[in-house]
Amino acid sequence: MRNIDLQVFPTVLSFGMLGNKTKNLNRRLVQDIWHDIENTTRPANRSGVNDISTSHMLERKYDSFKELAGLIREWAKPSIAKAGFHVDDISVDAFCGKVYKDPTAYSMPHSHSTQTYWTGVYYPTYGIINGEWQKEDADLDQEVPNVESLSNPHPGSIVFLDPIECIKVSSLGEAAYGSSNGRNLVDRYPNHGHPICLVPSESAITLFPTFLPHMVTPHCDRALERYAIPFYINMKYEK
């Protein structure tokens, strides 16, 4: 007998680290984010609450973002190809910078523009406290993204929401609300409708479809500055 197991109707989520080669670049990125904030007209906040945003298309203004675009392009190719897309001609663009300096700053659940299929977020730092970079001696080639399936995300996390969470959880019936031998719902049914959460760290990156709803929780630390760099990946198609 043979079985055919299909992971049908998936939502692709990719996580990774760009590594030690980004350490100098990350400082330049943060410097250019603040240069842009202080010298350009910033767009009105949309999903962000109490955060600080740069203007858009930073790759057209700063060499640091052009360099980042090249690194992300090469990192993203395997995941995009594995999802069944052609990767012969892709570009990374539409960069902007987000600063969560206010401990209450967060982003409401939202999705990104549907003009392209892929989007993502890059994190240039674990966070900065009183001008000091946190964990600056970390070996970024050995670090792995802190990704968990949680119904109660950690402070400062990016949280990916399953578009049909209510349907999936309700399909479990009483099992959705009970526990067995000390194991809760997330233990017994990992990823089944529950949010996927990433705690930002230096050089961490995530890639996901633009339609996937997500949000950012407050980091709740009065001294911490948290940074995020959203981007898009565009693909050219034959007409």
Q: For 97-112, what is each residue's pLDDT tens digit? A: 999 999 999 999 999 8
What are the tens digits of pLDDT across the range 46-97?
Answer: 778 999 999 999 999 999 999 999 999 999 999 998 888 888 889 999 999 9
Query: In angstroms, how far is the first alpha carbon of the chain from the final one?
Result: 44
pLDDT of residue 167: 76
Q: Do the Cβ atoms of 58 and 124 come closer than 8 Å? A: no
pLDDT of residue 173: 66
**Residue 19: burial class (beta carbons within 10 Å; 0-12, 13-18, 19+):** middle
pLDDT of residue 35: 97
Q: What is the CA radius of gyration of the chain?
A: 19
d(CA 181, CA 184): 9
Task: Output 23 or 165, whichever has higher pLDDT.
Answer: 23
Q: Do the Cβ atoms of 26 and 136 come closer than 8 Å? A: no
Q: Do the Cβ atoms of 18 and 71 come closer than 8 Å? A: yes
Question: How many alpha carbons lie under 13 Å from residue 70 in its C-beta half-sphere?
Answer: 7
pLDDT of residue 163: 84
Q: Do the Cβ atoms of 90 and 234 come closer than 8 Å? A: yes
Rounded to an integer, the average pLDDT of 126-136 is 96
pLDDT of residue 239: 45
Q: Which residue has the tokens 């339609």?
A: 211
User: Which of 120-151 are b and which e, b meaning 16 or more Cβ less than 10 Å from the residue's Cβ?
Assistant: bbbbbbbbbeeeebeeeebebeebebebbbee
The residue among 216, 213, 116 whose CA lies nearest residue 164 is: 213
The C-alpha angle 70, 230, 79, rounded to 5 degrees, equals: 55
Q: Which residue has the tokens 């990774």?
A: 16
DSSP 90: E
DSSP 177: T
